[in-house]
Amino acid sequence: MSLHLVSHPLAQVILTELRNKNTPPPKFRRLCHRLTTLLALEATKDWATQPYEIETPMEAHEGAVFTHGMVVVPILRAGLGMVEPILALFPEAQVGHVGIERDHETALPRSYYAKLPPVADQSFLVVDPMLATGGSALHAIQSLREAGAQKISLLCMVAAPEGVAAVLAEEPELPIYTAALDRCLDERKYILPGLGDFGDRLMGT
């Protein structure tokens, strides 16, 4: 299965607080940081490593390093809240940016910015808290494919079945990591039960 549900009890407790409409922006940001950490650990648990020789204070030791680099690609603007916790885990990671906004009348995505580092020998984590229609995620993934990216994973906090189906229809092998597969989209293409407008709640706007 390309869809991976992060079912750790802590993830579900954090997500409950994120969903709560009374959670204020400062706490919302802290919760975002904590849930992203859990998602990133799950998404990278099978990444390949190779032997690496070091000297401890006591003796020689064969440790491990990753066989490839990492690029975190937030979909602006809501995805920005997921970057810092990933960099805390992987400080050598690079950061690309893809700016995509949704037309509130048509619900279709529109790209307005893209800036990516070199893609050779890199694994990409595309981060967007909400996978609703899948349009923004597919837009970002297509930008990475056109740049030559091969290994891509998508991290989101909640996902709608419609968005998951749309992404996997175009990218059937692409791993999607999420803390919840929600019920559906409403007539305005917002996720139910969802957690509202993530960007507004994160930024306090």
Q: What is the set of active-site residues?
A: 102, 106, 197, 200
List CB contacts of 118: < 8 A, sequence separation 6 or more.
none
Distance, CA of 172 to CA of 1 (rounded, Å): 9
CA dist., res. 162 & res. 172, Å (int): 14
Sign of CA dihedral 198, 158, 15, 41: negative
Which H or E element spans position 25?
helix 25-44
∠ CA 167-78-166 to the nearest 5 degrees? 10
Dihedral sign for Cα 109, 110, 113, 116, please.
Answer: positive
Pair 193, 172: CB distance under 8 Å: no
For residue 64, what are its two tokens? Answer: 């491990």
The distance in angstroms from the start CA to the end CA of the chain is 37
